[in-house]
Amino acid sequence: MTHSIISTDRKRWAVLAVTVVAQFMVILDVAVVNVALPAIGRDLRFSQAGLQWVVTAYAILFGGTLLLGGRLADLFGRRRLFVSGVALFTIASLLSGIAWSESALIAFRALQGLGGALLAPAALSIVVTTFAEGRERNLALGIWGAASGGGGAAGVLLGGVLTNYAGWSWIFFVNLPIGAAVIALAPWLLRETRAELGHRHLDVAGATTVTGGLMLLVYGITRATERGWGDASALASIAVAGALVGAFLAIEHRSPAPLLPLRVFRLRSLAAANATMLAVGAVAFGEFFLMTLYLQEVLGYSAIETGLAFVAITAAIAISSNLGQALTTRLGPRAVLSAGLTACAAAAVLYARMPLEAHYAQDVLPGLVIGGIGLGLSFVPVTIAAMSGVAPADAGVASGLINTSRQVGGSLGLAAVTTVAATVSSDFVQAHPGVGRAAALSQGFSTGFYVLAAIALAGAGVAALFAAPAPRTQAEPEPAPEAEPAWEEAA
């Protein structure tokens, strides 16, 4: 009997390891490509406008189909969607690595984004249905948060090393052994679980409107970032996206089998977590983007030096994520999430005050450490809050929803800081003729960091008002009776 318990317990943590590795691979691939873009552009003779689509194509398919991926996992099987997503992501990585033209790479990156959107919510729903709500789930989500938060920072380092020493194709090829190992282990570790809904009907009208709406929203925001907010195509895309999302909500209100059951928003913790995740995503995406540009274009760091600089924030995220789950178990999401976002705001202010001739140890490192602590204390409690009280039948759609909030928030944050930084830099040049490029960029980046500080403080305010407070008791809650373990019992 004891042996059986130990074996089962080990398999639960093995399930976590497999799903976390897959999630880390997806998050890593968002950042790893940015460092390699110049090399990709030279080899495949990209136009300047076309090069940005290597990132945009991935973001549109990933952000646009996360919610659909989450519900498909609930309806048709979490293991099935997880393995399918990993397989698609791995195949698309291979094709991206051997891409022979501009259009081929853009198409394969879109395929990668679709694979990521299938596996990410399925993976998170497997985690929350494997671990009962309480201390153990919080510990698991702490590890999950470390992978999600640290993947972006680690991608900067890995992208620089692989691009410099092995060639840009290897930023995609590195996914192949990881994906193959996950696919091989999944049937052995995971057993199929589905939502107990009494039907297997896909809400086609809801799926069409929300997927189209989210894809157009991400596209419109991205285009506005590149062309400015006066761009007619960007504004039209955002307007149509708003109409489609509005139609989606109307469809869901009447649908007998909705893609997104609107009743989930009656969970105050879930609603507050998704609102706060918009701020967390905006801060994370925006700070990584601005800091990468600042280090390279103002301080003159190489790609590898930039990656090494980000080791500090990666380590801080990993350490504070573990602390974050323990504090959330003890204090509840409200206090920890508010503190985390406040630390993110403090880090953004430190970034904004970096001098033009900044020294790494005294000017850059403090912000990276405090920012990493803030992100670690934000990703974990916001994920715990998003999944608290969610019925097992809705685990997939709740997972897709929190991932969507992160992606949309990240896109909005990037658009905001890119627009602000470019405008301020341009105005600074006009007001100070003959000023150096680094000085103008520094002014723009500084203002962008202050914008991120304001976003982080707004998120901290939302968390303080609406996130779940400290638990009334330290007793471990009983697992929900309908919960289905996602690991395969030992024979």
Share of the chain above pLDDT 90, in %: 39
Helices 395-431, 102-130: inter-axial angle, 10-degree rounding = 130
Residue of higher predicted confidence among 436 and 34: 436
Could you report the per-residue pLDDT of 271-288, keeping only the tens digit for each? 999 999 999 999 998 898
Q: What is the DSSP string of 413-435?
A: HHHHHHHHHHHHHHHHHHHSTT-
Separation CA 176–CA 189 (nearest Å): 20
Q: Could you tell me the CA-to-CA distances from 79 to 121, 140, 172 in Å, in that order?
A: 11, 18, 24
Could you report the per-residue pLDDT of 370-396, keeping only the tens digit for each? 999 999 999 889 999 898 888 888 888
Instruction: Name the band, by pLDDT with cuts 50, 70 and 90, for residue 471.
Output: low
- Predicted TM-score (pTM) of the model is 0.85
Could you report the per-residue pLDDT of 404-453, keeping only the tens digit for each? 899 889 888 888 888 888 889 989 988 888 888 889 999 999 999 999 99
Longest dimension (CA), the chain: 79
Instruction: Name the band, by pLDDT with cuts 50, 70 and 90, for residue 477.
Output: very low
Separation CA 189–CA 280 (nearest Å): 32
Q: Residue 223: name the closest of 399, 83, 69, 419 by CA.
A: 419
- What does the angle CA 49 – CA 166 – CA 156 come to, to the nearest 5 degrees? 60
487 phi and psi, to 5 degrees?
-100, 155
Superfamily of domain 2-202+259-466: MFS general substrate transporter like domains (1.20.1250.20)
Helices 204-227, 232-254: inter-axial angle, 10-degree rounding = 160
What pLDDT score was predicted for residue 490?
A: 34
Separation CA 395–CA 194 (nearest Å): 10
